[in-house]
Amino acid sequence: MTDESGLRKEYSVILRAFLESGNDRYLMDIETISKKCVRANIGPDYMLEAHLNTLNGLVSEYPIEKTVRMFNSASEPLIQLMMGYAVAYHEYIDMHEKRYEREKRLADELNDANNLQEMFISIMSHDIRSPLSGVVGYSSLIRMRSKDEKVVGFADKIEKTAMEIDQMIESMRTYSKVKKGFSDEDFEEFDLNEMLSEIFEFLEGKIKEHGTKLDIKYQTDRRYPVRGIEFIRNAYLNIIDNAIKYSPMNSTITITLDDIDIDSSPHWKFGVADNGEGIPDDMKEAVFERFVRNDKRGIKGSGIGLAITKHAVATHKGNVWIEDNPGGGSIFYITVPQA
Amino acid sequence: MGGIEETVPINDEYDIVTARSQGKSTAASIGFGLVDQTRISTAISELARNILRYADSGVVYIREVASEGATGVEIVAEDHGPGIADLELAMTNGHTTGGGLGAGLPGTKRLMDEFEIDTEVGRGTIVTARKWV
């Protein structure tokens, strides 16, 4: 507002000076004022008012013959003022048109890049998987034919590593699919409880290997209905899998599933508490980005699991976040609406 | 041709006033109305300002021109400054750049009927703008 009254006053002073002297240099000052006005977002209507008020003021100050002479040349500064507006507005419009075009072009390029990424992932998963099956096949042949225990051990390692590569490819494919989005028809009702017990079954080998104990704190004899898509399984699988991976051997992982209200609509709040090293505050959101990992030596993964989790949960209008476990380690939470 | 031709050297702010006044009176004598006179003097003002801002000094020529029976005014703003490295940028970036290269050029272009820029980095810039009655 100070800008507005300041510029009106400035114009009024210059207008008077011009009318009294007829010096063209004041027209140039007016040009500058209109640009300042556009910058300060003061419309020409307000300046027109300042113009008329100044003229009215002159009428009361000067003898009539002099004001008539002044009024004759009063249109010139006004035209100059409007011309200044025109120049500044045109520049403004030009600039925004160009910016719009540039943004549109960038959006197209981004779209192309995403398509390319998808194509790349699908080609990669196909082309790497075929030689990978050769690796797995021949290493199991070596294992079968060799009597040397050491050689058998190497073959086991080769096979295990190949399977890990296969898993990484699978998670990249999943990520690319999750990112693409889903339609309404993909959604159907399922039971979270049932899905979780399938996940525990799937992870049985790993659970045994780590000596992990699962402390399940929810009723396993009831239904926890959710409307969703098969993909949401990956969200839960990834955070349970992480809890096992990042916890010390033979530790306990606590699993909860609570009935809560978010904005007065019922949700299932799922929690996985581990006893790992925990995640520092500045990483609690970053770990959900692609290829970010809370680096710990000897832990394998593509750094894509939690990115999948985040997208899958978001697709279900849910939320995923991390809190510190008071007993050490982290608690991962996922909330999704109840069906 | 053979009409009015004025040459105004641009070395300081006061020269801008001289150039725009000269432009206005030339435009008036050619037969432009008050609004067009203001368009022309505003264009001169913008071009002369650019000369001061980017090249320190230069010259503005104001000429009466005729072509196929039409009369008009031609403004040539010439300097031996750094030239404009990115012409497209100069023509798009508006006042928000707060004095980036070529600020004011797109606005000037709209005030006139014809507008050409000849620029070379290290050699200078010649802007030619015409308006027909």
Domain boundaries, chain A: 2-100, 116-180, 184-337
pLDDT digits (tens, 9 = 90+) for B115-126: 999 988 888 899
Best mutation site among B20, B32, B42 for testing chain A: the one with the most A CBs within 10 Å? B42
**Over 60: is that where the pLDDT of B15 sits?**
yes
> Which residues in chain A have Cβ-Cβ distances shorter than 8 Å to B17?
23-25, 28
Question: How many CA atoms does the CB half-sphere of A52 hold within 13 Å?
Answer: 5
Q: What is the rounded CA–CA span in Å between residue A283 and residue A287?
A: 6
Query: Residue B106 — pLDDT band, cuts 50, 70, 90?
Result: confident
Q: What is the pLDDT of residue A298?
A: 45
Question: How many CA atoms does the CB half-sphere of B49 hold within 13 Å?
Answer: 20
Q: What is the pLDDT of residue A69?
A: 81
Q: What is the pLDDT of residue A194?
A: 93
Domain A2-100 has CATH 1.20.144: no
Please say whether the beta carbons of A12 and A6 come within 8 A.
no
> Which residues in chain B have Cβ-Cβ distances shorter than 8 Å to A79?
34-35, 38
User: Quick check: A86 and B110 CB within 8 A?
Assistant: yes
Sign of CA dihedral A289, A295, A296, A298: positive
What is the residue type of A39?
Answer: R
How large is the angle between the packed helices A25-39 and A75-145, nearest 10 degrees?
Answer: 40
User: Quick check: A95 and B108 CB within 8 A?
Assistant: no
Best mutation site among A83, A95, A99, A105 for testing chain B: the one with the most B CBs within 10 Å? A83
Question: How many CA atoms does the CB half-sphere of A67 hold within 13 Å?
Answer: 11
User: Quick check: B17 and A79 CB within 8 A?
Assistant: no
The β-bridge relationship of strands A330-337 and B5-10 is unpaired
Residues in chain A: 339
Instruction: Name which of A162, A97, A246, A27 is nearest B39 in CA terms.
Output: A27
Question: From the list A39, A87, A98, which residue is nearest B46 (CB)?
Answer: A87
Residue B46 φ/ψ, nearest 5 degrees: -65, -45
Interface residues of B toward A, Cβ cutoff 8 Å, are: 14, 16-17, 20-21, 24, 34-35, 38-39, 41-42, 45-46, 91-96, 104, 106-108, 110-111
Task: Indicate the average pLDDT of chain A.
Answer: 86
Please say whether the beta carbons of A39 and A6 come within 8 A.
no
SS3 B124: strand
User: Quick check: A28 and B39 CB within 8 A?
Assistant: no
Dihedral angle, C-alpha A291, A293, A299, A304, nearest 10 °:
-40
**Over 60: is that where the pLDDT of B11 sits?**
yes
Q: What is the pLDDT of residue A17?
A: 93
Task: Give the start-to-end residue ranges of the domains of chain B.
Answer: 5-132
Return per-residue pLDDT of chain A as tens, 339 residues.
557 889 999 999 999 999 988 888 899 999 889 988 988 889 898 999 999 999 988 888 888 888 888 888 888 999 999 998 988 888 888 878 888 998 999 999 988 888 888 788 878 777 888 888 889 889 989 988 999 999 999 998 898 888 888 887 887 787 777 777 677 777 889 999 999 999 999 888 889 888 999 999 999 899 999 998 877 888 899 899 989 988 899 999 999 999 999 999 999 999 999 988 888 888 888 888 766 555 554 444 556 788 888 888 988 899 999 999 988 899 999 999 998
Q: Look up the CATH number of domain B5-132.
A: 3.30.565.10
Task: State which H helix or E strand residue A285 sits in.
Answer: none
User: Quick check: B20 and A91 CB within 8 A?
Assistant: no
pLDDT digits (tens, 9 = 90+) for A324-337: 998 889 999 999 99
Domain A184-337 has CATH 2.60.40.1180: no
The verdict on ipTM greater than 0.85 is: no
Give the position of tokens 């200044």.
A84
